[in-house]
Amino acid sequence: MSLELAANMGAAPKAEIPSDSPLAIRGMTVSYGQKPVVFSVDMTVAEGSMTAIIGPNGAGKSTLLKAALGIVQPLAGQALVYGKSLKAARHRIAYVPQRASVDWDFPTRVIDVVLMGLYRELGLLRRIRPHHIEKARACLERVGMTDFADRQIGQLSGGQQQRVFLARALAQEADLYLLDEPFAGVDAATEKAIIDVLKSLRSEGKTVVAVHHDLTTVRSYFDRVFLINTRKMAEGTVDDAFTSDNLNQTYGGRLATGQIDQLELTAG
């Protein structure tokens, strides 16, 4: 871990934040009531990488993202986006919340949800022009949902809903993509479609961070991992940090040895 930090920061002292990192979190502490959910967490996201945030249920994975985005108020700590304050760099972030966090019975169509991604461009009163619709359609095309543009969102399957959420994030034309469990409860075809889009984003030089649950796909989907259980447990490339030692420490023995053996881990 300290090696990782040193590698990211070059010769700079430990506490200094690299100015070019898409997302640098320092000392982030969040509590709900008395119980700290995230405690003094540092995270440095490498530009152009795909990072999986991994940890057991209730480990603070989603909360860490939300605190970085200012959605929940931290007790302490800060997040810098491309070396700037959140306020100054918000437009460079696209966020995909958990699918279950919204009411899909809301009276709106697929295309309208994608157009929400253009809010910063449209502002309060600017008219939606044909080129905005074009852009939204192109985003739907990337996730294979063009045919569903006029459907009410409640009529979609869970996987289709997740793709619509991703299309909305694409419409934001951001540099940093933060996704909260994008693969939760989706079908295999959707999972493939989503990972293809995320990988193509990476090849365009964008940075992707996703809360991820399925340890078996970490190695094939991501190049970096961030292990958390309230505190940061490990951070680094999959080869360096996705080790059985780190996983055991993070999950506190909640993973069966057999499970760990199947993950093709680097020897701890």
Partner 1 sequence: MSGEEFVPLSLTPMLIGVLAAVACALPGNFLVLRKQALIGDAISHVVLPGIVVAFLITGVVAAAPMMLGAAGAALVSVVMIEAIRRLGNIEPGAAMGLTFTTLFAAGVLLLEQSDTSSVHLDVEHALYGNLESLIWLDAIGWKSLLDPVALAGLPSELGRVVIALLGVCAFLWLFWRPLVLSTFDESFAQAMGIATNRLGVALVMVAALAAVAAFDAVGSIIVIAMFICPPAAARLMTNRLEHQVAWSVVFAVLSAVLGYVFAGYGPLWLGFDNAVSAAGMIATVSGLILALAACFAPHRHRSRAPVV
The residue among 161 and 246 lying less far from partner 1, judged by its C-beta, is: 161
Quote the least distance from Cβ 190 to partner 1, whole Å: 8
The residue among 10 and 123 lying less far from partner 1, judged by its C-beta, is: 123
The residue among 167 and 234 lying less far from partner 1, judged by its C-beta, is: 167
Quote the least distance from Cβ 116 to partner 1, whole Å: 6
Contacts (CB under 8 A) with partner 1, residues 131-190: 152, 154-159, 161, 168, 185-187, 190
Give how many residues touch partner 1 by CB under 8 A: 40
x/- mask, partner 1, residues 234-263, rule CB under 8 A, reads ------------------------------
The residue among 2 and 73 lying less far from partner 1, judged by its C-beta, is: 73
Binding partner 1 (rule: CB under 8 A), the pick from 5, 75, 122, 263 is 122
The residue among 69 and 260 lying less far from partner 1, judged by its C-beta, is: 69
**Residue 101 binds partner 1 (CB under 8 A):** yes
Quote the least distance from Cβ 250 to partner 1, whole Å: 25
Beta-carbon contacts of residue 26 (< 8 Å; ≥ 6 apart): 15, 17, 42, 77, 78, 79, 80
**Residue 113 binds partner 1 (CB under 8 A):** yes
Quote the least distance from Cβ 200 to partner 1, whole Å: 22
Contacts (CB under 8 A) with partner 1, residues 56-85: 66, 69-71
> What gap in Å lies between CA 140 and CA 28, rounded to an integer?
35
**Residue 124 binds partner 1 (CB under 8 A):** yes
Q: By the 8 A CB rule, do 29 and 35 touch?
A: no
**Phi and psi angles of residue 106, each rounded to the nearest 5 degrees, phi first:** -55, 135
Q: Can you give the binding site for partner 1, defined by CB under 8 A?
A: 66, 69-71, 87, 90, 93, 95, 97, 101-109, 112-113, 116, 119-120, 122-125, 152, 154-159, 161, 168, 185-187, 190
